[in-house]
C-alpha cells in the first residue's frame, strides 16, 4: 500500500505543469504588453505571400474589442498572478 501511495504522488507530480519563471524586468515587459493589448479597441493584421504551387496569397484580419480594459488594472492583475504563482525570480 505504501508503494502504491508513493507511486501515486510521483505520477501526480510528474503530470503537474511547471510554470515558467522570469525576472521582474521580463515580467513587467510581458504584463505591459498584455495591458496594452487588452486596452486596444481596434487591432488588425495583414499578410501577403507567394507560393510556387498556389501563387500569391493575401490575408486581412481585424479585431474589435467591445470591452477594453484599463491598462493599470490589467497590468496589476498580471503581476499579482505571476507573483502568487512564484513565477518571478530575482537574480536570474
How does pLDDT run across 14-44, given as a tens digit for each residue? 565 668 899 999 999 999 999 998 998 888 8
DSSP of 52-81, one letter per residue?
TTTEEEEEEEEEE-SS---HHHHHHHHHHH
pLDDT attached to residue 83: 94
- Is the separation of the CB atoms in 61 and 42 below 8 Å? no
pLDDT averaged over the chain?
84
pTM (global) more than 0.75: no
Pairwise CA distance, residues 38 & 14, whole Å: 34
Q: Residue ranges per domain, the chain? A: 21-84
Residue 3's H or E segment, with its range, is helix 2-15
Cell digits of residue 25: 524586468
Amino acid at each position: 500500500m505504501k508503494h502504491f501511495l508513493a507511486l501515486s504522488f510521483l505520477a501526480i507530480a510528474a503530470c503537474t505543469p511547471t510554470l515558467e519563471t522570469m525576472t521582474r524586468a521580463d515580467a513587467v515587459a510581458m504584463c505591459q504588453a498584455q495591458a496594452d493589448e487588452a486596452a486596444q479597441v481596434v487591432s488588425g493584421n495583414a499578410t501577403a505571400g507567394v507560393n510556387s504551387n498556389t501563387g500569391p496569397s493575401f490575408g486581412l484580419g481585424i479585431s474589435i474589442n467591445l470591452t477594453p480594459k484599463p491598462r493599470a488594472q490589467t497590468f496589476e492583475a498580471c503581476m499579482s498572478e505571476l507573483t502568487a504563482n512564484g513565477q518571478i525570480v530575482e537574480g536570474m
